[in-house]
Amino acid sequence: MSQPLLEAQGVRALYGDYVALDGVSLAVDEGQFVSIVGPNGAGKTTLVNVLTGLLRPSTGTVRFKGENIAGIGPVKLAALGMARSFQLVNIFPALTVAETIAVAVVSQHGRGFSWWTTLARDRQVTERVAEVADLFGFATKLGLPARTLSQGDKKLLDVASAFALMPHIIVLDEPTSGVSTRDKNTIMETLVGAAKRIGIKAIIQVEHDMDIVFSYSDRIVALHQGRILADSTPEGIRENEQVVATVIGKTHRP
């Protein structure tokens, strides 16, 4: 059997006496689109923070491509081939679309910000920016300030910044929150198409919109009170009455 791309075993995460994760184990293989779902306080954000090296688990192991990544941080993790959406639009609202994508591109090369005034003359960076912009429909919007984009385009720009790292696996935290239903589907179709075009091997997302979850996921991991209540296909989740009642709600009963 081949080695999982990403694997967590027996992960516990404690905040003082509070147990955020309690013995979580999961493995993500190449070719999978995995959605993590659950009510508020279930442990979703803590799990994503552990999986992306932002938080070292209290106990347990986390491995990416066989390497221990517990607590290594996003910069080292990106160098290994895992990226998480940055929310850069919120961090640097004055940057243009091109500059926002460029921040991710140059971080991959380990450069600092002293190059900022000469960025436009860096052919390698500008070519990558143009490539990513084309994937996400920003080719005609590169000069626009990111803060002027629609909410749907801001979400896409967040995702595009993570894709600019050309990762093997990408982790998305609420990629469609705060946008209209039409924009949600546009975002999902765009990111799935982009993932196929650049060869991303797996996608993990935390998402509250269960229509999106059921439409795009190969696999759904349902968390409740820091534990995995179910880990199955969308069809398997729909058929699990306990999961539907506890985690999802009556509106998505089969």
Which of these, 236, 224, 191, lies nearest to 37 by C-alpha position? 224
As a dihedral over the C-alpha atoms of residue 8, residue 41, residue 190, residue 200, rounded to 10 degrees, the angle is: -10
**Confidence band for 61, pLDDT divided at 50, 70 and 90:** very high
- Note the pLDDT of residue 69: 96
Average pLDDT over residues 123-146: 92
Residue count of the chain:
254
In terms of DSSP bridges, do strands 6-15 and 59-64 run parallel, antiparallel, or are they unpaired? Answer: antiparallel
CA atoms of 25 and 193, how far apart (whole Å): 29
Strand order in the sheet with 169-173: 82-84, 169-173, 202-206, 33-37, 219-224, 227-232
Give the number of C-alpha atoms closer than 13 A to the C-alpha of residue 78, restricted to the C-beta side: 20
CA atoms of 20 and 5, how far apart (whole Å): 24
Which of these, 81, 23, 65, lies nearest to 47 by C-alpha position? 23
* Highest-confidence segment of 23-32, 90-99, 244-253: 23-32
- pLDDT of 205-253, one tens digit each? 999 899 999 999 999 999 999 999 999 999 999 999 888 888 876 545 4
Q: Which residues of 137-147 are buried (b: 16+ CB within 10 A; e: fewer)?
A: ebeebbeeebe
Q: Which residues of 67-85 are buried (b: 16+ CB within 10 A; e: fewer)?
A: eebbebebeebbebbbbbb
Query: Residue 25: phi, psi to the nearest 5?
Result: -130, 135
**Confidence band for 254, pLDDT divided at 50, 70 and 90:** very low
In sequence order, the β-bridge partners of residue 220 are 35, 232
More confident residue, 8 or 123: 8
The structure tokens listed for 97 are: 């679309």
Per-residue pLDDT for 169 more than 90? yes
Domains of the chain: 1-69+204-254 (3.40.50.300)
Q: pTM for this one?
A: 0.88
Which of these, 46, 41, 81, 248, lies nearest to 166 by C-alpha position? 81
